[in-house]
Amino acid sequence: MKKIALFCLCSLASMSILAGCSGSADGNVNLGTVTLSEYKGVKINVAAPEVTDEEVDAKIQTALKQNPDLVEVDRAAQDGDTVNIDYTGKKDGETFDGGTARDQDLKLGSGTMIDGFESGLVGAKKGDTKTLDLTFPEDYKEQSLAGKEVVFEVKVNSVKEQQDAQLNDDFVKKVSNDEYQTVDEYKASIRESLLEQKQATAEQQMEEDALQNVVDSSQFKLSRNGLSVRYNQMVKQYTDQAKTYGMTFTQMAQANGMSEPSFKEYIYATVKEAAKRELTVEAIAAKEGLDQLTDEDRELFAQDNGMSKDTLVSMYGQENADEYVLQDKVMRYLAENADNEAENPAAVSERVLETTEAASEEGSEAADTTEAASEESSEAADTTEAASEESSEAAQTTETASEESSEAADTTEAASGESGEAAQTIEVSSQAE
């Protein structure tokens, strides 16, 4: 799964206190210009992923520990055993809501029931009936029972102890909900899952390395004003985020081992690097015609992130969603065209748009409707032809607008001053807060 906010300015991402991005940065800020270096055939070194038998065995051992067998035993129940019980609770001689259950498994010592219930069953055997005189805690969520004395009649139907699970076909069926029937099938599924995870990681590394290679070797003229706007936006975001933790901006910096000036320098450096990456992506997209996004582009990106295109747009808005899709598209292009020098090089896997059964049925219905419509009068055909001509004119208008937009994007202002004047920009930005 891809990380959606590929260029979202998540400073100090490794620190748990700073999580997530607001995505509120103004994408229309003039950040400057870039003179691209060669971006096809850039050198990377990412090996093809491999899964070892040891890794598969480790996953299986984890599954065995997490899914122990419960084996019925003919002895008194002990702490840690699971008892199957029927019980009826009464208050003032009358049953109460939620106080009766049948055929319920209860692990003794789990703390699932009120104090005294589970400990009162320790020592009981299959077939025993226990009477438990208990009192609900004063702070019990059900006010009518809080602090009240009750009596539970409990019948023990079975006593089971936890034993280490054994890797066999029965275990496989249990943990996979019958998706797999044999141990060999189960092992193959684990290997495939691990390989998919490693492949995703390798592809992200290829994309990141290729893009960083281009950024490092390209020439930039960054706009001090544009960087200042982005910097101030980020300072405000972190200030607002600090407030949600009951902290000031200075306290947030200190909590992460920095002084306020050091924190601001870190933010500025992050903004500057992100601006370079953004300019690089936009320039490559324009040169290679990758900036003409299609619904398939959006669906593929959303699919990689475990959601639908509509959900993606709903969560992030159309503009932000398209920025993420464009970034992904360009980085994938760079990885596909990179020169991977690894001895056993990783490759970018082909992405296939998955269609749901419902979508297939809709498509089938649409095809049936189209066929039926085509069999109707020639007037419908004429209408379709006219609509097609209008659609073509609209497409031409869109293309013209796109070309105008591209020309406008190519016209960027030169920066007044070198990008190295970070300290001076920080001072200006700080005064602007």
The model's pLDDT over 67-83, given as tens digits with 9 standing for 90+, comes to 999 999 999 999 999 99
Of how many residues is the chain composed?
433
pLDDT tens digits, one per residue of 15-28: 322 223 334 455 57
Check pLDDT > 60 for residue 365: no
- For 134-151, letters b (16+ CB in 10 Å) and e give bebeeeeeeeebeebebe
Tell me the backbone φ, ψ of residue 159, rounded to 5 degrees: -125, 125
Q: For position 354, what pLDDT does the model report?
A: 78
Kindly report, as residue ranges, where domains of CATH 3.10.50.40 are found in the chain. 69-163
User: CA-to-CA distance for 29 and 273, rounded, in angstroms?
Assistant: 15
With a threshold of 0.85, does the pTM exceed it? no
* Nearest Cα residue to 134 out of 123, 119, 144, 122: 119
Kindly report, as residue ranges, where domains of CATH 1.10.3120.10 are found in the chain. 32-50+193-410
| N-term to C-term CA, the chain | 38
pLDDT band at 351 (very low <50, low <70, confident <90, very high): confident
Query: Which CATH number, 1.10.3720.10, 3.10.450.100, 2.20.25.90, 1.10.3120.10, labels domain 32-50+193-410?
Result: 1.10.3120.10
CATH code for the structural domain at 69-163: 3.10.50.40
395 CB-side CA count, 13 A: 7
Check pLDDT > 70 for residue 385: no
* Nearest Cα residue to 101 out of 158, 153, 160, 151: 153
Which whole number is the average pLDDT over 119-130?
97
Q: For position 342, what pLDDT does the model report?
A: 96
Which whole number is the average pLDDT over 192-203?
96
Which whole number is the average pLDDT over 311-326?
93
Q: List, in sequence order, every beta strand (DSSP E) within 122-245.
A: 129-135, 149-163, 219-222
CB 225 within 8 A of CB 429: no
Which whole number is the average pLDDT over 252-257?
93
Q: For position 26, what pLDDT does the model report?
A: 56
Q: Where are the alpha helices (DSSP H) in 2-52?
A: none
Q: For position 425, what pLDDT does the model report?
A: 38
* Nearest Cα residue to 291 out of 381, 370, 155, 402: 402
User: Which has the higher per-residue pLDDT, 408 or 358?
Assistant: 358
152-161, 219-228, 305-314, range with the lowest pLDDT: 305-314
55-59, 333-337, 361-365, 429-433, range with the lowest pLDDT: 429-433
